[in-house]
Amino acid sequence: MPFQGTTAIVTGGASGIGLAIVEGLVERGTKVAIFDIQREAIDTQVARLREQGATVTGHIVDVSSRAQIETAVAEVRAELGPVLILVNSAGIEQFGKFSAITDELWDRVMAINLRGPFMCSQAVLPDMKAANWGRIVHISSSSAQAGQPFMAAYVSSKAGLIGLTKSMALELGPRGITVNTIPPGMVVTPMTDRAVSEGRFTDTLEHFASITPVRRAGAPADIANAAMFLCMDESSYVTGQVIGVNGGRTT
């Protein structure tokens, strides 16, 4: 199944890692639907990519809502065709003492970071089963592998995403559907910039880059490059895997 003409959905695709993945897909001839909640960012990126000749649509979707997901997937299917590639990149952060996490905050983080990928995957599954081919990539986090203080809800949601990946891969592999997860290391994104501006880093980005084996911070394109491989037909023997893209800090 080639990229050319295949339809993909990228959640959280209007900025950061998600946008880099959208760009990688459209460069290879994929028709892409962006799911995001940032209306202005969606409009800006869709217009820019269309000017470059890409086939791309934008949809305002809160991935914690099954109704919004199912409505948007139906729109994508009608406009672009069956959805055979799904990249779950939408997510929210959480920072604060464990003792201060409220039930409401815990539930919101889980709803977007874990339940969202679950529901999006269910929504596109009929298309993939009909084609006996599909690619699902979950963007998790290296913090789920090593833990992170003051981010218990976020880390738990991303750890759950790794477990979801493994279970889905075992069940869906016989149907030609692969499911993998990429846990990024430190990647410079709007979310990272916000954390720096709020003083949540114990040191500078330059310091963290200096103690990373490859001696630099990650870029969204680094994650996108790995996602492109996992979406290819040539990656059909790779499923249920945790593909760390972190400059060697987590092995």
Q: Which residues are catalytic?
A: 154
Residue 190: Cβ within 10 Å count: 14
Cα torsion 207, 226, 175, 116: sign: positive
d(CA 1, CA 238) in angstroms, rounded, equals 15
Structure letter (DSSP) for residue 114 = I
Residues in CB range of 92: below 8 A, 6 or more apart? 108, 109, 112, 113, 154
